Chains A and B, each alone.
Chain A
Amino acid sequence: MTDFLPILRGIHGVWLREIMRATRDRGQLLGGVSRPLIWLLILGVGLNPYFRGEVFGEVRLVLPYNYLQFLFPAVIVLNIMYTSIQFAVSVIWDREFGFLREVLVSPMPRWAVLLGKVLGGATAATGHGILVLILARFADVTLTPLEVVEAIIYMFMLSFALTCFGVVLAGKVRSFEGFGVFSNTVILPLYFASSSVFPLDPSLTRTQLVVTYPEWLVALIRVNPITYAVDVLRGILIGFNQFPPYIGLGLVAAGMVVFFFMALRGFGK
């Protein structure tokens, strides 16, 4: 217990620093607000009329939801992905400018330093997710208090896993420029090759699905973990799941553990 309290103080200190840095970074905050607004206002509103199809001669919504509702959980995940993975820039920053050494020479174990940093990044990313959640009414999504709590808990789990993933990436990249290119080549393909902006299996027949989407795209989407991560949040927020929710929950929980240990291996080297 006597050893545990100082470590807890240290984790809290590292977490607090990340929160202070995130809240003082106006650029990051601006991105956190403008990104979902652009997606929802332009993409969501613009494509809303096309989110319907002709089934057996009858024109109706592809899903029992409009496009804004369908896109809304995906925009939350996008905001979380950007903030979590971009958080790794702070790891590179700390490494380049010596701040990491200051912490690594302290009595805090490395796992505790990493845990504090990841918790800080995950909190900031969850905060950016909540910024989108506030727009729920605008996207015609009605939420009960329980759904809000469930969504925030899940968003935090996802943020934690993605922040660890970002730290793993940061361990592979040695410069800011490199990370910028690297992160964009990771975030955007992962996002678009998931079922984030279009439904993989709309309420049409299997025959029509194959006609609509090429097999390679369907296969890509099915192996992309972000597909399942978005699907869980969609289930919580609009009650629509394309897959059993336990798959997404299991993947996110596994990601939290696996990516944390992978990040720990490279952290502070």
Chain B
Amino acid sequence: MTTQDTPAEPAVLVQGVSLRYGSQIALEDVSLEISRGSSFALLGPNGAGKTSLMSVLATLRTADAGRVVVAGHDVNRAPRKVRESIGMVFQDASLDDRLTAEENLDFHGRVYGMPGNARRSATDRVLELVELSEWREAPVRTFSGGMKRRLEIARALMHDPEILFLDEPTVGLDAQTRERIWTYLDNERHTRGLTLLTTTHYIEEVDRADWICIIDKGRVIAQGSPSDLKQKHGKPYLHVVAALPEIRSALLDTYPDARTTGPEQISIPADGEEFVPEFLSRFGSRLHEIRFEAPTLEAAFLNLTGRTLRDRADGEREAQRAAGRRAGRQ
């Protein structure tokens, strides 16, 4: 269950979903539930299965097993109803650069079957929401990355969806734009009960969510509110600075989980209530600096998913995209 314990039907219900690409497992027995009006974050390393799950929810892929209900409609039995109920912001830019902002929105309205008057009023509303009204007649190719992303969010909201899927919506954007985007989305959530399902790499953004689901190798490995996950899976750390090499060696010998994190800095997991007093009594007088770090989501995430790099699949995909871009310029 998510944070909002209401008897109402959930916005999204996923039960035992599995998906394979050939012999590769993309999703395995995934189950989760998203309450209406909540903000749900899907967190996982590269290749964990986040985008695959989004694709299944958005009816772009059919799961091999399991049941998925979105906005009260089964994705296999009523895919069209599901599509009418959702908005989607993709990880990669998907605007038409040769059209203006207004033309991109108008196109979206048409493919969602909106009549002319509804399209015009929705265009005005969403452009105002993302503060791009003055740019409505500008070609999208003249937009910055942040403006394009704001326009994509506007486009996803054009047809007034119940649920908004955002696949890495703020990747590559500066802090100001990221903050502004979350303000727009929170406004929509609070004013009209929009449900948000977000995947992101930015841990601080996940902290804003009501409920977090951590997924790795196609499996759900933990779920909970941000504070629950921090408490259950995050570790407090002591970051200490020791100028003398023999002190640093002694620390590393005494605490096998300790790691060198700077020229003279060592980070030590501070598990248990008695750890800090005991540590201070042994080493306190021989250290230059001691800093305590409360459990974080990042620590919880790394504890659950490990520290091995998962960038191979992403690199291959990026190389393919780059080749496409090069060819497009020729």
A binds B: yes
The residues of A with any CB-CB pair to B shorter than 8 Å are: 5-7, 9-10, 12-14, 16-17, 20-21, 24-25, 93, 96-99, 101-109, 113, 175-177
Residue of A nearest to B114 (CB): A9
Interface residues of B in 48-106 (CB under 8 A from A): 58-60, 80, 83-84, 86, 88, 90, 92-96, 98-99, 103, 106
Cα–Cα, bound, A211→B114 (Å): 65
Interface residues of B in 101-150 (CB under 8 A from A): 103, 106-115
Contact of B327 among A12, A98, A175 (CB under 8 A): A175
Residues of B within 8 A of A106 (CB): 83, 108, 111-112
Are A177 and B83 touching (Cβ within 8 A)? no
Q: Is the contact region of chain A dominated by helix, strand, or loop, or is it mixed?
A: helix
Are B111 and A10 touching (Cβ within 8 A)? yes
A102-B324 contact in complex given A9-B113, A20-B103, C-beta closer than 8 Å: no
A97-B110 contact in complex given A20-B99, A105-B86, A176-B328, C-beta closer than 8 Å: no
Residues of B within 8 A of A5 (CB): 113
Number of contacts between A and B (CB, 8 Å)?
A: 94
Are B94 and A97 touching (Cβ within 8 A)? yes
Cα–Cα, bound, A49→B115 (Å): 59
B330 within 8 A of A: yes
Residues of A within 8 A of B108 (CB): 102, 106
Residues of B within 8 A of A24 (CB): 98
Cα–Cα, bound, A114→B155 (Å): 21
Are B96 and A99 touching (Cβ within 8 A)? yes
Given contacts A10-B112, A107-B84, 11 further A-B contacts (CB under 8 A): A6-B112, A9-B111, A9-B113, A10-B113, A13-B111, A99-B95, A101-B94, A102-B90, A107-B83, A113-B111, A176-B330
Closest-CB distance, B113 to chain A (whole angstroms): 2
Cα–Cα, bound, A102→B165 (Å): 12
B232 within 8 A of A: no
B309 within 8 A of A: no
Cα–Cα, bound, A6→B112 (Å): 7
The residues of B with any CB-CB pair to A shorter than 8 Å are: 58-60, 80, 83-84, 86, 88, 90, 92-96, 98-99, 103, 106-115, 155, 321, 323-324, 327-328, 330
Are A14 and B111 touching (Cβ within 8 A)? yes
Residues of B within 8 A of A14 (CB): 107, 110-111
Most buried by A among B60, B86, B96: B96
Residue of B nearest to A177 (CB): B327
Closest-CB distance, B75 to chain A (whole angstroms): 12
Closest-CB distance, B79 to chain A (whole angstroms): 9
Residue of B nearest to A4 (CB): B113
Are B96 and A98 touching (Cβ within 8 A)? no
Closest-CB distance, A180 to chain B (whole angstroms): 8
Closest-CB distance, A158 to chain B (whole angstroms): 26
Residue of A nearest to B116 (CB): A9
22 contacts between A and B (CB under 8 A): A5-B113, A7-B113, A9-B110, A9-B115, A12-B110, A13-B109, A13-B110, A17-B99, A17-B103, A20-B98, A20-B103, A25-B98, A98-B90, A99-B95, A101-B88, A105-B86, A106-B108, A107-B111, A108-B112, A175-B323, A176-B330, A177-B327
Cα–Cα, bound, A113→B155 (Å): 18
Residues of B within 8 A of A9 (CB): 110-111, 113-115
Residues of A within 8 A of B59 (CB): 105
Are A101 and B60 touching (Cβ within 8 A)? yes
Residues of B within 8 A of A107 (CB): 80, 83-84, 111-113
Cα–Cα, bound, A123→B76 (Å): 35
Are B93 and A98 touching (Cβ within 8 A)? yes
Residues of A within 8 A of B103 (CB): 17, 20
Cα–Cα, bound, A93→B328 (Å): 8
Are A105 and B58 touching (Cβ within 8 A)? yes
Are B327 and A16 touching (Cβ within 8 A)? no
Are A17 and B107 touching (Cβ within 8 A)? yes
**Which 9 interchain pairs have the tightest Cβ spacing?**
A6-B113, A13-B110, A176-B327, A98-B94, A96-B324, A106-B111, A107-B83, A10-B111, A102-B94
Are B60 and A104 touching (Cβ within 8 A)? yes
Residue of A nearest to B113 (CB): A6
